[in-house]
């Protein structure tokens, strides 16, 4: 009876360890979305809620600032001609530049410098190796557990 309890304990600990490893891999490898900027409206601004630095000399938002886990939800850009924002810290007068906001585009109101409002939208999911890795790991752990049980049973 004691031998059987010992086997059960080892079998349970093997499966528990496997579950913890698989859970950690699955949590780490959740798909993140790759984003892109979509123009929402011209002649709008979004008061305050700026995040990060501006991108000077560019009338299109920086694609690396849009995606899962990034704080920017919207961007406002000025081309320096039709839309101007004379923020000398970001650029010279009459220059093109963008700033990034934590406010979603549909909630953007206020702001004294109308420009072109963009929103960060999901374009696709970035596949990770977590799903295939989890399956492979599960199969390996199952095989290892079966092998250990058979080996111990044969020696008993």
Total tally of structural domains belonging to the chain: 2
In the predicted model, is pLDDT for residue 63 greater than 60?
yes
In the predicted model, is pLDDT for residue 2 greater than 70?
no
The reply to whether 38 and 115 lie within a common domain is yes
pTM over 0.85: no
Q: Which domain holds residue 149?
A: 2-30+135-155
The reply to whether 94 and 56 lie within a common domain is yes
The reply to whether 78 and 119 lie within a common domain is yes
> For 17-25, what is the mean pLDDT?
45
The reply to whether 16 and 62 lie within a common domain is no
The reply to whether 58 and 90 lie within a common domain is yes
The reply to whether 83 and 149 lie within a common domain is no
The reply to whether 147 and 98 lie within a common domain is no
Complete DSSP assignment for the chain: -HHHHHHHHHHHHHHHHHHHHHHHHHHHT--EEEEEEEEEEEEE---S-B-S--EET-SS--GGG-BTT-S--EEEEE-SSSS----TTTS-TT--EEEEESS-GGG----SS-EEEEEEEEEEEE--SHHHHHHHHHHHHHHHHHHHHHHHHHH-
The reply to whether 39 and 26 lie within a common domain is no
In the predicted model, is pLDDT for residue 104 greater than 60?
yes
């Amino acid at each position: 009876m004691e031998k059987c309890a010992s086997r059960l304990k080892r079998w349970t600990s093997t499966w528990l360890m496997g579950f913890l490893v698989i859970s950690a891999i699955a949590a780490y490898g959740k798909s993140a979305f790759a984003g892109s900027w979509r123009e929402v409206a011209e002649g709008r601004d979004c008061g305050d809620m700026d995040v990060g630095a501006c991108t000077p000399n560019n009338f299109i938002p920086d694609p690396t600032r849009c995606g899962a886990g990034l704080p920017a939800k919207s961007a406002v850009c000025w081309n320096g001609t039709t839309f101007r924002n004379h923020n000398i810290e970001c650029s010279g007068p009459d220059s093109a530049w963008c700033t990034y906001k934590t406010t979603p585009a549909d909630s953007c109101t206020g702001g004294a410098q109308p420009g072109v409002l963009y929103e960060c939208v999901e374009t696709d999911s970035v596949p990770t190796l977590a799903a295939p890795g989890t399956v492979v790991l599960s199969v390996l752990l199952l095989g290892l557990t079966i092998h250990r049980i058979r080996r111990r049973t044969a020696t008993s």
